[in-house]
Amino acid sequence: MKNTPSLALTTSDSADTTDPNASLLSKPEHSQNSKQKSDDLLQSIGFRSMIIFQILAYGSYSILVHLCEKDGAVAFSSTTMNFVLEFTKLIFSFSALFYFSSVNVDVSLSRKQIRSWLKQSLPYSIPGILYFINNNLAVHMQVQMDPASYQILSNFKILTTAILYRIIIKQKLTRRKWFALSLLFFGGLAYSIGTLKNSSYVSKKVTTTSIIMPEMYIRPLGVPMIAVYCIFSGLAGVYNEWILKKHYTESLHLQNIFLYTYGALLNLFPAVASAVAKSGSGHIFNPFDGFSFYTWLIVLTQALNGLFMSVLLHFFRGSFFILRLICISMFHF
């Protein structure tokens, strides 16, 4: 009888002594979980913001190029614009590499290090060439069709991307996805045939304001141009993602430096040659001739678009590139 209270007291004391310890142990776990949740939330918001910005940049590209037209032609040099675009991304990637690198980057590189970097960068020359052709083609084919036609017909690259995904990355798509891609492809094909038949030589309407509002039209040359554009776009996107995933352990900023260096160099030489040719015909040497506010807006939006895309391709696995293109096409239908 005398031991009973003693046992109860002992049990109570032991409970009192263990509860504070348990609560102390649970506090770090709770704070760690809360921090993880907040980090995941911020990451999710960041990725979604990037995708939304890409949709806006993709949708505004054709309109901005048309606003840069003068007398039915693009007023600026496409290679100069793309050089500035690639150089802007290159400067940002260099800055990010130096700022975020945990290892001190040695500026004074030896010949051996330079050769090693050149060898390491060679795989990025292929998407660099493809993007060089495609980005310049995307500018010049704007005069062959109106922005609405461009938005619809450029969705063909979803199908080419899916096929190349299957061939290069061995990425399998479900029957439902193939069916959706087929509907998208044949719908755009029917539209292009009807537009080409009915309004291939429609002239543009000029409003009383300074802004040109084109009717829906597509010229005969626009069909092969959009076909080449979609094939090269899919090939460049799939190959670029394959490289990024294959060298996943490499710094994202270093990968971007390799890619943007090739893009800048490929656009630099024709940009200078174009400016020299114009200066020879009595004009002052000015590579930025024809540049306007809208041209610089294209440079800004497309530079951010390319940087955001590299981040998403680097950190996402699976068929994200296809899903992104489908998302864009849905917003513009």
Return all residues near 67 (Cβ < 8 A) that are at least 6 apart: 211, 212, 292, 294
Distance, CA of 227 to CA of 250 (rounded, Å): 34
Buried/exposed code over 214-253 (b: 16+ C-beta within 10 A; e: otherwise)? beebbbeebbebbeebbbbbbbbbbbbbbbbeebeeebbb
pLDDT, residue 85, reads 96
Residue with the two structure tokens 């040109």 = 212
* 42-59 tens-digit pLDDT: 878 888 888 889 888 888
Instruction: Give the pairing type, strands 205-206 and 212-213.
Output: antiparallel
> What is the reported pLDDT for 77?
94
What is the rounded distance in angstroms from the CA atom of residue 135 to the CA atom of residue 129?
10
- Please tell me whether residue 333 adopts helix, strand or coil conformation: coil
Global pTM value: 0.77
Measured between alpha carbons, how far is 125 from 313 in angstroms, rounded to an integer?
18
pLDDT at 187: 74
Q: What is the pLDDT of residue 204?
A: 47
Burial class (CB in 10 A: 0-12, 13-18, 19+), 180: middle
Residue with tokens 């614009």: 81
Instruction: Look at residue 111 in the predicted model and tell me its pLDDT.
Output: 75
For the chain, the distance separating the N- and C-terminal CA atoms, rounded to the nearest angstrom, is 85
The whole-number pLDDT of residue 134 equals 93
Rounded Cα–Cα distance for residues 176 and 178 (Å): 5
- Residue 231, classed as helix, strand or coil, is helix
Q: What does the block give as tokens for 180?
A: 């959706």
290 in Cβ contact with 76 (< 8 Å): yes
What does each of the 333 residues of the chain score in pLDDT, given as a tens digit?
445 444 444 444 444 445 555 554 455 666 677 777 777 788 788 888 888 898 888 889 999 999 999 888 899 999 999 999 999 999 999 999 888 775 555 555 667 777 888 888 999 999 999 999 999 999 999 989 888 888 778 878 888 888 888 888 787 777 887 887 788 777 766 766 665 555 444 444 444 334 444 466 788 898 899 999 999 988 888 888 788 778 777 888 888 999 999 999 999 999 999 888 887 766 788 889 899 999 999 999 999 998 888 887 767 655 555 555 555 444 443
The owner of tokens 């913001």 is 49
Nearest to 150 by CA among 65, 67, 262: 65
Strand pairing partners for 230? none
Vertex 100: Cα angle to 95 and 106 (nearest 5): 70
pLDDT at 209: 39
Confidence (pLDDT) at 30: 62
CA distances from 305 to 91, 185, 199, 250, 311 (A): 15, 25, 33, 21, 10
Identity of the amino acid at 4: T
State how far the Cα of 144 lies from the Cα of 273, in Å rounded to an integer: 25
